[in-house]
Chains A and B, each alone.
Chain A
Amino acid sequence: MLCQECKQKQATVHMTKIINHKKTESHLCEDCARSHEDFIQGPSFSLNDLIFGFMDMGHSQKASEKPVSSECGVCGMDYKRFKKMGRLGCGECYKFFENELGPVLGRIHGNTQHTGKVPKRGGSDLQIKRQITRLRGELKRAIELEAFEQAALLRDEIKELEKPQELQEGDANELDK
């Protein structure tokens, strides 16, 4: 195959790019490829390939744990389809494919713990939990520094936070009925 750009030299660099979900392929010679700015970042893969690659790694370790036939209870997504699409079928899939997703998310984001915005509805528990974790840290430091007065205040604050949380859970259960 000849290079698409100079149409003289042999095409040795083959790039596939997904731009706005449209797949474009280019076949270039070494020289023309180098003149393309992003060549330096290496040949690109599609996002899906990347996700599958990660999943295969995650899956090979845990392959035996889940029967292949099982599907997500809410949307009916099964592992085969999930792998083919590289996409989840619904929110519940995240719990259902937890084992397979763990390593994928770690590799994509370098993190597996969300620290950003939390929905007020249903998320208030989490906001309180985060606050308690933060206060416990402060409490530990206060005790280490022997600042007992401050520690007592912090302990009260934590107790106060732990109380309404149980109440709220009760309320939520009431609503569910």
Chain B
Amino acid sequence: MSWINETGPARDVVLSSRTRIARNVANIPFPSIMKPEHGEQVAQKIRSCFSSNTSLEEPRFNFMYMRDVPAVEQQILVERHLASQDLMENIKVSALLLDTKEKVTVMINEEDHIRMQCILPGLQLNQAWEVLSKVDDVIEEQVEYAFHEKLGYLTCCPTNVGTGLRSSVMMHLPALTMNKQMNVILQTISKIGLTARGIYGEGSEALGSIYQISNQITLGPSEDDIISNLTIACKQIIDKERFARKALYKTSGIQFDDAVWRSIGILQNARVLEIKEFMALISQIRLGVSLGLVSAFTLEKIDGLMTIGQPAGIVKKSGKSADASEIDIIRADVIRETMKEKILTKEG
């Protein structure tokens, strides 16, 4: 997942920008009701668009049928947002084109025939759309899309019709969360056709104060309208978060420092780490790093640590299927080791 190791605009608040478009092949039933031979036909059609393509230098894709990918690897693709759970549930016919740089993926036979997405570090929605639109053009050279003059690109679910575009921004908002300002922000953005939810954790929890903000409306506004609307909203949230961080640091002083360094201490020494606690500590450290209090870590390394600590990542590291209590122990081990390496490389 290359975006994690790269810096990007407003990386202190924005982890990544993701843009996704949905497309379907004309005159073939959508995946939910299609026959397996139709699924095969769609997968081969899309695959051949890229094996024969010469017009697009980048990205370079590897093709894989999901049925050939081991279950643990499938879950890792999901946790890294490179594929969706839906793709794994359609396993008989679903396939994936994965960019060698892990920025662009094309999911085949998910809810729609084609769902492609581009993830870039920091706030770069425009750039992500530009990359994706070129990939879209390559497919369109050889495939006739289901398209309606009035309704645009036709999708399985009526909530995606039109542009088929869903843009989202993954944001770390610890200071606004601590100040209990999130409710107001969530309410406000819902009035302009945007929606927000926690990325990690179930239900209303936003573990680690990580939120995903996306557009809700896909029919009517153009792609550029949707993206600029979301970008403007994000920029305002970024300003608010930065302001709140500074204010928080100013008012709490040494207490603030203390909380950050204690969090580092726990991650370096804990023998059992539950996901909830782990995410809270990571969030605290990330906040400290963003304010320049900790030089031993970069934001990119912290975000990498956060990904490593997610359940499927831990199961992969452990090399066996572990139950919940074992996972917490393995997580503590993995994080301890990773933190040690990082401190050593920095100081050595």
Given contact pairs A91-B148, A116-B152, A116-B163, A105 touches B219 in the complex (Cβ within 8 A): yes
Binds A, one of B137-145, B245-253, B326-334: B137-145
Which one, B29, B140, B153, B162, contacts A120 given CB within 8 A? Answer: B140
A91–B154 CB distance below 8 A: yes
Question: Is the CB of A46 closer than 8 A to any CB of chain B?
Answer: no
Residues of B within 8 A of A75 (CB): 29-30, 33
**Closest CB-CB distance, A9 to chain B, in whole Å?**
18
Which one, B158, B182, B202, B222, contacts A115 given CB within 8 A? Answer: B222
B32–A87 CB distance below 8 A: yes
How many residues of A sit at the interface, in one of the four size bands? 35 or more
11 residue pairs bridging A and B, Cβ less than 8 Å apart: A21-B89, A41-B186, A47-B157, A87-B30, A90-B146, A105-B158, A109-B217, A109-B218, A114-B162, A116-B222, A117-B222
Question: Is the CB of A17 closer than 8 A to any CB of chain B?
Answer: yes
User: Residue-by-residue, is A53-94 near B (CB-CB < 8 Å gives 1, otherwise 0)?
Assistant: 000000000000000000000111100000001111111101
Question: Is the CB of B27 closer than 8 A to any CB of chain A?
Answer: yes
Which one, B85, B159, B165, contacts A20 given CB within 8 A? Answer: B85
- Most chain A CB inside 10 Å of its own CB: which residue of B28, B137, B149, B165: B149
**Closest CB-CB distance, B328 to chain A, in whole Å?**
21
Within A22-73, which residues are at the interface with B (CB < 8 Å)?
Answer: 22, 24, 26, 36-41, 47, 51
Which one, A15, A90, A112, contacts B150 given CB within 8 A? Answer: A112
Question: Number of B interface residues, CB 8 Å?
Answer: 58
Question: Is the CB of A113 closer than 8 A to any CB of chain B?
Answer: yes
Known: A38-B186, A114-B153, A114-B162. 5 other contacts (CB 8 A): A24-B202, A88-B158, A109-B161, A112-B151, A114-B152
Given contact pairs A36-B204, A37-B182, A88 touches B156 in the complex (Cβ within 8 A): yes
Which 3 A-B residue pairings sit nearest by Cβ, starting from the closest? Answer: A111-B220, A91-B146, A114-B152
Question: Is the CB of B102 closer than 8 A to any CB of chain A?
Answer: no
Which one, B26, B141, B158, B222, contacts A104 given CB within 8 A? Answer: B158
Question: Is the CB of B84 closer than 8 A to any CB of chain A?
Answer: yes
**Closest CB-CB distance, B45 to chain A, in whole Å?**
14
Which one, A24, A104, A115, A120, contacts B220 given CB within 8 A? Answer: A115
- Most chain B CB inside 10 Å of its own CB: which residue of A20, A40, A77, A87: A87
Question: Is the CB of B221 closer than 8 A to any CB of chain A?
Answer: yes
Question: Is the CB of B86 closer than 8 A to any CB of chain A?
Answer: yes
Question: Is the CB of A11 closer than 8 A to any CB of chain B?
Answer: no
B27–A77 CB distance below 8 A: no
Question: Is the CB of A145 closer than 8 A to any CB of chain B?
Answer: no
Which one, B154, B218, B226, contacts A94 given CB within 8 A? Answer: B154
**Closest CB-CB distance, B103 to chain A, in whole Å?**
20
A118 to B162, CA, bound (A): 10
Closest chain A residue to B196, Cβ basis: A38
Question: Is the CB of B44 closer than 8 A to any CB of chain A?
Answer: no
B163–A20 CB distance below 8 A: no
Question: Is the CB of B187 closer than 8 A to any CB of chain A?
Answer: yes
User: Residue-by-residue, is A5-22 near B (CB-CB < 8 Å gives 1, otherwise 0)?
Assistant: 000000000010101111
Given contact pairs A88-B30, A89-B30, A91-B26, A109 touches B220 in the complex (Cβ within 8 A): yes
A101 to B148, CA, bound (A): 14
Residues of A within 8 A of B220 (CB): 109-115
Closest chain A residue to B139, Cβ basis: A119
**Closest CB-CB distance, A52 to chain B, in whole Å?**
11
Question: Is the CB of B53 closer than 8 A to any CB of chain A?
Answer: no
**Closest CB-CB distance, B136 to chain A, in whole Å?**
8
